[in-house]
């Protein structure tokens, strides 16, 4: 009885050691991310902007050593995912050994306020933040439907 328990203990410890070793090796072997040397600025797709669609897109990108070989959509709204994919395909990298990594595109709409003359402004400035090749943030102004005539008619 004590023998089997001892055996079980040894096996568990052995498995644990193997697991830890494996984890250490995996971290050690983690390839450095390739450097992007050429790309187009990702812009908010106009139709999504008008349709008030926002959200994050997660992509899995595989490279052939200089360019993007394939892009797999992990999650995200289809229109935004398409825009993100189109942008990723413009990326070119410094020569590296082919690799696969994940990138997240966050599309956000900024609330704007309009005055009586329909001059609309956002508190935050629209912007694009790039931390290539893994993080992209696209913040655009939310398009407002503003009727100057009706605002003027108001007291």
Q: What is the smallest separation between the CB atom of 19 and other proteins, expressed in angstroms?
A: 24
Q: Which residues bind other proteins (CB under 8 A)?
A: 32, 36-41, 43, 115, 117, 119, 121, 125-132
| Cβ closest to other proteins, residue 44 vs residue 76 | 44
Distances (CA, A) of 100 to 26, 68, 96, 109, 123: 14, 10, 11, 30, 38
Q: What is the smallest separation between the CB atom of 30 and other proteins, expressed in angstroms?
A: 10
Q: What is the smallest separation between the CB atom of 129 and other proteins, expressed in angstroms?
A: 5
Q: What is the smallest separation between the CB atom of 38 and other proteins, expressed in angstroms?
A: 7
| Cβ closest to other proteins, residue 36 vs residue 53 | 36
| Cβ closest to other proteins, residue 5 vs residue 154 | 154
Q: Residue 6 and residue 4: Cα distance in Å, rounded? A: 5
Q: Residue 126 and residue 47: Cα distance in Å, rounded? A: 17
Q: Residue 120 and residue 145: Cα distance in Å, rounded? A: 10
- Of 103, 108, 107, nearest to 74 by C-alpha is 103
| Cβ closest to other proteins, residue 8 vs residue 51 | 51
């Amino acid at each position: 009885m004590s023998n089997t328990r001892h055996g079980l203990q040894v096996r568990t410890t052995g498995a644990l050691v193997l697991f830890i070793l494996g984890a250490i090796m995996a971290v050690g072997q983690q390839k450095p991310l390739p450097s992007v040397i050429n790309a187009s600025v990702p812009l908010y797709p106009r139709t999504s902007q008008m349709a008030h669609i926002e959200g994050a897109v997660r992509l899995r990108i595989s490279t052939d050593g200089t360019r993007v070989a394939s892009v797999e959509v992990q999650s995200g709204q289809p229109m935004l995912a398409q825009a993100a994919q189109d942008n990723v395909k413009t990326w070119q990298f410094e020569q590296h050994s082919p690799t696969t990594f994940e990138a997240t595109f966050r599309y956000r709409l900024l609330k704007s306020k309009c005055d009586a003359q329909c001059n609309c402004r956002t508190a935050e400035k629209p912007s694009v933040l790039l931390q290539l090749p893994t993080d992209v943030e696209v913040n655009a102004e939310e398009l407002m439907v503003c009727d100057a005539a009706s605002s003027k008619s108001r007291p």
